[in-house]
Structure 1
Amino acid sequence: MRWDNLRLDSADSASGDGGQGQLPMFARDAVVRTFDTPGFRGMTFYEVHAKSIVSHVPESSHMSFRWTINPYRGCQHACRYCFARQSHTYLDMDAGRDFDSRVIVKVNAPELLRKKLASPGWAGEHIAMGTNVDCYQRAEGRYQLMRGIIAALRDAANPFSILTKGTLILRDLDLLLEAAEVTDVGLNVSAAFVDPSLWRAIEPGTPAPERRIEACATLNDNGLRCGVLMGPVVPYLSDSPAQLDAAVRQIAAAGAAHVTPIVLHLRPGTREWFLGWLRTAHPELVGKYAALYDRGSYAPRDYQARITAQVRELAEKYGVGRANPRQARAVRS
């Protein structure tokens, strides 16, 4: 089974808290839980004991980091454009509603990380988090895996970075500050637009964009360096000059260390899910998307370059990344 790398063969457990019981098609040691509370209604969580938690990024990848941690698979944010959707099919689940509602929880992540960081072969390289699914999705409020993970990284003085669409990162402000005293800590929140109607339509499980940007402000106010990833800029829905201006203006006001736009890309799994929504919500755009993404998963380079240039100009206009008085006050205090 494709679950083999997520299980300890000798483990054996039973479900609880209203769980549905174990499903034979999944890992033998997976505890299957549901919670009858508003924030988790309709969700199923598969608590598994992973064999490893630090994943190596293939050398062929264009990513700037080589190691990642993903304590969850599947995501309650339910972003219609999430590029990680296809990875759920590796677990014999679908890339659509299963990805949004069936979340794998690697409950032993903090313990595995401590072992990895203490192993003789570990060289203390940078570890990125939030690069596949959000490590601060709503489930983290219950499972609290990130506190143990950050504490392990702090104790080993191991550099790390976090990207999130969640405001729950503020819960761990104390640990982040302690870690920043002994190692490099890179923080980014993701917020590509501030249009409330678009947010509700394509990011229904996330905190509002303004709350994410305010989380960035809070992190900077406390002396941490936090930027904003404008990901994704959605063609014909969030890419107008006025929409980009509104987003960058708020990002600048938050004292963001930098702002980086990423244009929507539609990989297999994500493509079908997003375009299915588009046909219902914006049928007038289907032809335009067919033309824009006719050669693959990515928008044409000239379109991407235009968006990047517009955001760069706006960042210069509003002073993103300049001397930050909010952060300076925090440091002085």
Structure 2
Amino acid sequence: KAHDPDIDIELMITDSMGWTPILIKTVINEALIVAHDAGREQLNYKDWLAAADERSDGIKQPIRSWHRDDRRKTAYHEAAHAVVGRYVLTESRISKATIIRRGHALGMVVPKPKEERTSMFRRSIESWIMVSLAGHVVETRYLKDLSTGPSSDLSNATARAVFYVSQWAMGPTKLVVPLKLGELPPAPFVTAAHELLDQLYAETERLVLQKMTAVHYVARALIERDELIGDELEEVFQEAESVDPTLAQPFERKLLQFRTFAPLPAAQTMGEWQPKAASTAAAGTAVPQPAAELGPTGEGDVWPEPPAGWLDDPGMAWTPPTA
């Protein structure tokens, strides 16, 4: 097919991992139609991505008279997903961030693997859960107003957390329980999944606060341009890092800990949990600290706020305060 000679074939290969040959051919043909509709004879990467997105997510349905506050909050929601994804999904790249509606989704962030993998690992699963939690974090902690938007994100996070502890034996027990579709596991597994989500939520909150400058910059770019693809998104991150060099520092995850699985009646209750540290400490070994106490965290944190008008003026400079 006629294509831009500078098109990144490697990106197209990683985008299409797991596709059938028929699907690849169909998307290429539809990408060429997208190019022709735009008055071009050759397809480029954006045409390819647009065709692939229509296949997976439906056609674009821009909101012509979108309430300014709703648009702003959606931009911050998606920006949080993009920022958390960039800093914890080390084996993926953020292919696209958008606030153009498709189907029921007002926006989306699309991570793609950098190379094909055949197995899932605990650290990666935890990172994907953090990406899912990011929108809820920024709405609750920064925007101070929770929408219905994070519901599907939380559904994905819950499903992964339940499988993490009940199907993949990555939590506090090696037991694996058979589950029917839509069925929750026994109560101890639900408790463990809840603990996992609570601790990863606290980690996500800590990451978003550390990288809040990047969230502001990505949100502003989305408000201005609606959609950021590949290098466009990376340029926004580089701009944010140029004014806030601390963004370049890696995010250090804390260790996760769980209560004793299925405790006896005399065991500690939900509100009394403490890490099992005594025997380890007595042996002179460093004791890993849990990611966070269960429950709300960070109430005293100060979230950086750009000056009035900055969000709507891409030419306005802002250097966030440093600690």
Structure that is richer in strand per residue:
1
- RCO higher in structure (CA 8 A, sep ≥6): 2
Q: Which has the larger radius of gyration?
A: 2
Structure that is richer in helix per residue:
2
Same fold (TM over 0.5): no
